């Protein structure tokens, strides 16, 4: 295998130098490419032939690496002769575990934790997002807020908006940590909705405006504003349950 390949297009990963375990190296390179956003969730990976050119290895090496990746988790799936990226490779690889929320102090601690993690994720999203990230965030925003005042705001759509922001940070740890508290976050979101049901129209308007400020700051690449907007949103969410 040559250390460079003349047919690799600009912008593609450089072919790999020889290593003792090429299959493992190709595995790790594909995972890192997904983490960096070079290969997008929901898309198909390049063909075996294309990957062999990108990484400067044989097709059997690529084929074995792909088979190992599909067997190690659920983030890739086979569709005909192609392999689809079903989710981020770190979405379910966390060993973090948190107790369920059972009292008001647990509720406060969950929001304190989210306040700092998600504000940081929004800051990095403003610095690192690309056009696909913005499309995903705006899409999550529209799905969440495309409901009439008589409808219930779905908590899973709310969480999806927050994970879209975390994914745009390009730091997989933000997404991993947020996914690890999915059940706690959904519980607090649902609780906030129930506590403020008498003010449902006003609450929906307020939440939509808070989310919009986050997205617009990320779109503008304004890290300080994105961080502040997310922090304010989570503070306001706390207040909607506990009062000011």
Residue 97 covered by a domain: no
Q: How far is CA 42 from the centre of its chain?
A: 12
The domain tally of the chain equals 2
d(CA 42, CA 100): 31
Q: Is residue 198 part of a domain?
A: yes
Query: Can you give the pTM of this predicted structure?
Result: 0.60
Give the whole-angstrom CA distance, residue 123 versus residue 227. Answer: 5
> Do residue 43 and residue 127 come from a single domain?
no
Asked if residue 14 is part of any domain, the answer here is no
Residue 92 in any domain: the answer is no
Residue 15 counted as domain residue: no
Q: For residue 222, what are the domain limits?
A: 104-242
Tell me, yes or no, whether 159 and 81 share the same domain: no
Q: What does the pLDDT read at residue 16? A: 44
Check whether residue 53 and residue 127 sit in a common domain. Answer: no
Assign residue 133 the CATH number of its domain: 1.20.120.530
Domain membership flag for residue 56: yes
Helix (H) or strand (E) holding 21: none
Region label for 107, one of left (φ > 0), alpha (ψ between -120 and 50) or beta (otherwise):
alpha
Are both 150 and 30 inside the same structural domain? no
Type and span of the H or E element at 77: strand 76-79
Averaged pLDDT in 10-residue chunks for the chain of 244 residues: 41 46 84 84 88 89 82 72 81 57 78 93 96 90 74 74 92 85 83 66 85 98 98 90 70
CATH number at residue 56: 1.10.10.10
Residue 123 within a domain: yes
Residues 63 and 178 in one domain: no
Q: pLDDT value at position 184?
A: 84
- The whole-angstrom separation of Cα 112 and Cα 9 is 46
| pLDDT at residue 126, as a whole number | 98
Question: First CA to last CA across the chain, in angstroms?
Answer: 65
Domain identity same for 72 and 123:
no
Q: Which pLDDT score is estimated for 125? A: 97
220 in a domain, yes or no? Answer: yes
* Residues 137, 202 share a domain: yes
Q: Are residues 146 and 189 in the same domain?
A: yes
Same-domain status, 152 and 108: yes
Bridging pattern class, strands 76-79 and 82-85? antiparallel
Is the same domain home to 213 and 123? yes
CA distances from 193 to 80, 91, 176, 200, 208 (A): 43, 26, 25, 8, 13
123 and 76 part of one domain:
no
């Amino acid at each position: 295998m040559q250390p460079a390949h003349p047919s690799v297009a600009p912008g593609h990963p450089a072919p790999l130098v020889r290593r003792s375990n090429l299959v493992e190296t190709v595995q790790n390179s594909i995972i890192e490419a997904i983490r960096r956003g070079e290969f997008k969730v929901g898309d198909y990976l390049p063909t075996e032939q294309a990957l062999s050119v990108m990484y400067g290895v044989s097709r059997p090496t690529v084929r074995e690496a792909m088979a190992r990746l599909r067997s190690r988790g659920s983030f890739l799936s086979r569709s005909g002769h192609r392999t689809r990226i079903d989710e981020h490779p770190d979405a379910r690889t966390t060993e973090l575990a948190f107790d369920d929320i059972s009292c008001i102090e647990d509720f406060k601690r969950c929001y304190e934790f989210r306040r700092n993690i998600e504000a940081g994720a929004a800051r990095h999203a403003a610095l690192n997002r690309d056009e696909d990230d913005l499309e995903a965030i705006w899409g999550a925003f529209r799905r969440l807020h495309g409901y009439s005042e008589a409808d219930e705001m779905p908590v899973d759509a709310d969480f999806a908006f927050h994970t879209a922001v975390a994914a745009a940070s390009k730091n997989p740890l933000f997404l991993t940590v947020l996914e690890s508290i999915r059940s706690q976050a959904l519980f607090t979101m649902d609780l906030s909705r129930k506590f403020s049901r008498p003010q449902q129209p006003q609450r929906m308007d307020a939440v939509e405006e808070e989310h919009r400020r986050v997205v617009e700051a990320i779109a503008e690449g304004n890290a300080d504003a994105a961080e502040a907007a997310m922090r304010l949103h989570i503070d306001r969410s706390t207040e909607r349950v506990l009062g000011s």
